[in-house]
Structures are given as C-alpha cells and as structure tokens.
C-alpha cells in the first residue's frame, strides 16, 4: 500500500531522538504506511539499530534555499495553481510581518517543496515538534488541502510566541504532548479541545533486563570510586555547568568517576570548566554513541545525574528519555524539579530531585548518594518498577494509532 501519512521532522536520523525512531517503527508495525520528510540532513556520526529497521522512505527538503533555488522555484510555479496556495500565502505574509526573519521565509519555501513532492497517496502530515517543522506542515497542509497534526515536546513549545502556538493548534486536527506541564500550558493557550497527554515511554523489548548484582561502591577509596554517568547534549538547558561545580565541591576524600555521553556545542566550554576546576582527570567525555553502547555504560554505572534547568529563552527539557532508559536498568537517578521530570521521578521514592541551578543542594545530594549504596539500590529498584508500570511505549502508541486513524477517516 502506498504511503498515507507523511512524518515531518527537523532532522532524521538523529541519535538524540530515539523516541521518534521507536515511534515511527511502532506505527509501521501497527500497519501504517509512512514516508518521512526531514528539514535537515543527518549529521550524527552513527545511527541506532532501530533506524535500520524503519522501512519508510526518507525525503530531504532543501536545508538552505540558496543551495536548491531551482527546486524551490519549480515547486512554487506548480503550487500557485493549487486552490490552497493563496490562502497559505496570506497566512505566511501575516506571519512574516510578525516574525520578519529568514527562518520564516525558509519554512515557507520548504513548505512549497513538501506540498509539491509529497506522494499523492499521502492524506495526512504528522509533525514532530511545534516550532519549525510544524511551520512547514502548517503551510504545506493549506497549500495541498491535507490535514495535519502535531507532536509537541519541549523547546519547540516554550521558545515560540503564544500567537504561533494558538494558530497552529487551531488549524491542526489534534496535538499530543509528552508532559503534563506542557499539557497545562498548551491548554491555557486555547488547545484544551485539541491537546492530549501522551508519554513517549520506552519499548522495553529493546532493553535487556538489568543485572541483579548491586554495587557496593561508596567512594571511600579509589578502588570503590562511584561511577557517575549522564547522557545528554551539551546545551544550556542541561545545566552541566552546575554539575561540574557540584562535583568540584565534593570532599577530596570522596572518590568518584564521571562519564558524559553526548555531543553539543557547549562541550569545549564544559571541558575547559572541568580543567579549571581541577576535576578533568576524573571525567570521560565520550561524545554521542549508539544506544547499544549507551546501555552498556548504564549497566557499568552507579548513579545517573541530569541537572536540567530552564534557559533564559524559556527552553527546557520535557521528560528526558534518558532518565527512563537509566531507570530501566535499575540505575538510581538524580535530577531537578524542571518541567515533566517530577512526573517520572518521585523525590526520595523513585529517585532524587533538587531545585534547578542549586549547586550546594546538588553537591549535598551527590555526597549522600555516593556514600550510600543501599539507598541507590532502593531508588534504582523503585524507579525500575515505576517506569515499567507507567511509562511503557505501548500505551502511548495505542492513543496515537487511534488519533491517526480518526484523521484518515475524516479525509
């Protein structure tokens, strides 16, 4: 059967977006015929095994218009004869008046190409992220008179103006989002009748059962140095500068090692900070890794740490999948009370939480958990039980399948 749903993404494939890949594959296994349209080409050095399983064909829109002017012009000349073109142009010009940026013009150009090149059998655009990918689907859906929907997450919600959120929710068939905090915010902006909470969850079939041997490392000697790990891009909202400061403030007689997995533009800055603090000898910066290697590092660790914060521009985490992944391996988690994280981690029951940007509190929490392997084991076990009970991917996929079928039935 030809593709009936186009999945529109900012970039594909991406190591940092395993939740997107697992969702696409799950939809394929539920019988949906998909194609993928990506605004950007891949830049990660590797892919996850699940990317090789995905059968949907992938199309790349012009990443930069000046590199593919002829392609954009061909799309424009073809689209001006479509009944929805002039409506889309009017909406675009109004948006450009409020947001006079090159980025806005690029999205309209990409929408031209999407509307022209999408297979004729596609009846619905399903779009991950409410910011730039949704702008492309928003205009393309008008031009081609197709329905569309949104999966909203974190930065894409909190760093765009309220008027843009409202208008996208108004024209979309429906929207799902991955945290109750996001759900409340979007509902307040007029999306109460469109938005639904849908946790990404994990496909536990892809995660081996954790080893039963509990660590007894307590940081009292070099031989019992506690192994700390964090997985996340080196970007502002992850708050890694506070973690490095907290690690530097730990007693010299407390022994630990820290592994960071992930790329990101702030990586050189964080490495310099670690050197200035005199702790660089205890840290390994491994860069971005495929999920199979990440899981191996989880199993070798004693404590997962993610010091998320809200950036000055409003950017923040939603509900980081890496926390769920760590819990799936019975790894105790230390994080912050930001966005959807408290929906997963219940303080002192299934993990440990401190306030964002609170270096002394983070230092104290690290010291407590490093010294107490029994408490780490208790938190890790409780987190494991909660994530498997409440955050399975299957529950969210059931909801998504129902929504997509409803949209296809209306067309």
Q: What is the pLDDT of residues 241-252, one digit of tens each?
A: 999 999 999 999
Q: What is the pLDDT of residue 291?
A: 85
Report the C-alpha gap between 167 and 153 in whole angstroms.
Answer: 17
What pLDDT is stored for residue 411 in this prediction? 66
- Between CA 18 and CA 22, with CA 19 as vertex, the angle to 5 degrees is 85
Domain pair 5-201+392-410 / 208-390, same fold: yes
Q: Identify the CATH class of 5-201+392-410.
A: alpha beta
Rounded to two decimals, what is the model's pTM? Answer: 0.89
DSSP class per residue in 268-325? HHHHHHHHHHT-GGGEEE-----HHHHHHHHHH-SEEE------TTS---SS-HHHHH
* CB distance 74 to 62 below 8 Å: no
Residue 21 structure tokens: 């890949």
Mean pLDDT of 31-38: 96
Q: How is the chain split into domains, by residue range?
A: 5-201+392-410, 208-390
CB atoms under 10 Å from CB of 43, counted, come to: 9
Q: What is the predicted pLDDT for the residue at 394?
A: 87
Q: Tell me the per-residue pLDDT of 309-368, one tens digit each, with 9 for 90 and over.
A: 999 999 999 999 999 999 999 999 999 999 999 999 999 999 999 999 999 999 999 999
Going by C-beta distance under 8 Å and a sequence separation of 6 or more, which residues neighbour residue 275?
Answer: none
Please name the fold of domain 208-390: Rossmann fold (3.40.50)
Lowest pLDDT segment from 44-48, 61-65, 167-171: 44-48
Provide CB contacts within 8 A for 324, sequence distance 6+.
200, 201, 202, 344, 387, 391
Burial 188-216 (b: 16+ CB within 10 A, else e): eeebeebbbbbbbbbbbebbeebeeeebe
> 3-state DSSP: the chain helix, strand, coil percent, rounded to 5?
50, 15, 35
- Rounded to whole angstroms, the Cα distance separating 171 from 372 reads 53
Enumerate residues 6+ apart whose C-beta is below 8 A from 368.
Answer: 352, 375
Tokens linked to 199? 């946790």
Asked if 16 and 262 count as a contact pair (C-beta separation under 8 A), the reply is yes
């Amino acid at each position: 059967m030809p593709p009936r749903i186009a999945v529109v993404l900012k970039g594909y494939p991406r190591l940092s977006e395993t939740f997107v890949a697992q969702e696409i594959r799950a939809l394929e296994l539920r019988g949906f015929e998909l194609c993928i349209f990506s605004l950007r080409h891949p830049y990660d050095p590797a892919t996850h095994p699940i990317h090789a399983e995905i059968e949907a064909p992938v199309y790349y829109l012009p990443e930069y218009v000046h590199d593919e002017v002829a392609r954009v012009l061909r799309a424009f000349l073809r689209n001006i004869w479509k009944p929805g073109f002039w409506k889309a142009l009017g909406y675009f010009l109004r948006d450009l008046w409020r947001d006079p940026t090159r980025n806005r013009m690029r999205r309209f150009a990409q929408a031209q190409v999407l509307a022209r090149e999408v297979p004729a059998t596609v009846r619905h655009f399903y779009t991950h992220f409410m910011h730039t990918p949704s702008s492309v689907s928003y205009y393309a859906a008008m031009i081609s008179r197709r329905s569309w929907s949104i999966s909203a997450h974190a930065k894409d919600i909190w760093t765009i103006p309220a008027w843009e959120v409202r208008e996208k929710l108004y024209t979309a068939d429906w929207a799902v989002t991955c945290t109750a905090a996001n759900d409340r915010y979007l509902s307040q902006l007029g999306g109460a009748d469109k938005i639904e909470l849908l946790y990404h969850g994990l496909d536990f079939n892809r995660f081996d059962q954790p080893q039963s041997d509990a660590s007894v490392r307590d940081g009292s000697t070099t031989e019992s140095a506690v192994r700390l790990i964090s997985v996340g891009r080196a970007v502002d909202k992850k708050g890694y500068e506070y973690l490095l400061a907290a690690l530097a403030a730990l007693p010299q007689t407390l022994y630990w090692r820290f592994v960071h997995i992930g790329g990101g533009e702030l990586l050189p800055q964080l490495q310099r900070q670690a050197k200035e603090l005199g702790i660089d000898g205890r840290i390994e910066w491994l860069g971005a890794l495929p999920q199979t290697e990440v899981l191996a590092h989880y199993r070798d660790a004693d404590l997962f740490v993610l010091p998320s914060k809200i950036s000055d521009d409003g950017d923040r985490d939603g509900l980081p999948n890496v926390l769920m992944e760590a819990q799936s391996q019975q790894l105790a988690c230390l994080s912050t009370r930001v966005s959807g994280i408290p929906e997963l981690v219940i303080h002192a029951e299934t993990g440990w939480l401190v306030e964002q940007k609170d270096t002394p509190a983070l230092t104290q929490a690290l010291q407590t958990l490093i010294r107490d392997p029994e408490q780490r084991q208790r938190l890790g076990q409780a987190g494991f039980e909660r994530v498997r009970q409440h955050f399975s991917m299957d529950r969210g996929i059931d909801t998504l399948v129902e929504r997509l079928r409803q949209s296809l039935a209306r067309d």
